[in-house]
Amino acid sequence: MDINLPNMRATLVRISQFVLQEESEIVRENLQEKVAEAALFGV
């Protein structure tokens, strides 16, 4: 990810709204699913 993004504020705020981490033993699947969920929510 580029550290000189033109709209850093909006990008960081949207990323911070993700609910990526939840309790799960299978970290890999959990992570992938949370990204997909965030996209479905349209953060």
Nearest-approach distance from CB 29 to another protein, in angstroms: 7
Q: Token pair 């997909």 is at which residue?
A: 36
Q: How far, in Å, CA of 14 to CA of 41, rounded?
A: 12
Asked if residue 23 lies in contact with residue 12, where contact means CB atoms within 8 angstroms, the answer is no
Nearest-approach distance from CB 6 to another protein, in angstroms: 10
Within 2-21, which residues bind another protein (CB under 8 A)? Answer: 2-5, 8-9, 11-21
Chain length of the chain: 43
Q: Which residues bind another protein (CB under 8 A)?
A: 1-5, 8-9, 11-23, 25-29, 31-43
